[in-house]
Amino acid sequence: MKRYGMLLAISVVIAIALTAIVKRPRALAPRPIAAAIPEFTLRLTLQPGAVMPHRSVVPKDHRVRLIVLNRGHQSLTLTLAGYEDRLGSRAIAAASLWDTSFVADRPGEDFAWLLNGEPAGQLSVTGSHLVEGHR
């Protein structure tokens, strides 16, 4: 009788172990590494009342590395209308450089460079607003 009890106990332990092995979470297939966002460098020069070049173009879905040089003799505040949530307004001291980046993911031709709150240049983000493969 003791033998049957021992056999029953071993059977229960083996059944629990097999159930745990079968139901354990499987390792997920490795996720593909997201492709790096391509980078585009845009250089701007600030002068009192002007952003040079006056009209600039960047491709959609690129990380724009923005390098801004203030050649004026006073601090100038630069804002990109339509991307304020990404860049905000930045006061750039006279004869200094501002190096930053943002993702240009909003296509259009109506983004104004505001210099001290006044339009001084234009940025166009080229590319379709449609998701690739969408008709």
Q: Say how far apart CA 36 and CA 61 lie, in whole Å.
A: 11
pLDDT at 26: 64
pLDDT along the chain (135 residues), means of 10: 76 76 66 79 94 96 96 94 93 95 92 95 85 51
Q: Say how far apart CA 89 and CA 109 lie, in whole Å.
A: 20
Instruction: Convert 43-73 to b/e letters by CB count within 10 Å (16 or more is b).
Output: ebebeeeebeeeebebebebbbebebbbebe
Q: In the chain, what's the furthest Cα-to-Cα distance?
A: 101
Q: Give the tens place of pLDDT for each residue, 4-15.
A: 777 777 877 787
Q: Looking at domain 39-126, which CATH architecture does it have?
A: Sandwich (2.60)
- Sorted by where each begins, the domain ranges of the chain are 39-126
124 near 58, Cβ under 8 Å?
A: yes
Q: Say how far apart CA 79 and CA 113 lie, in whole Å.
A: 6
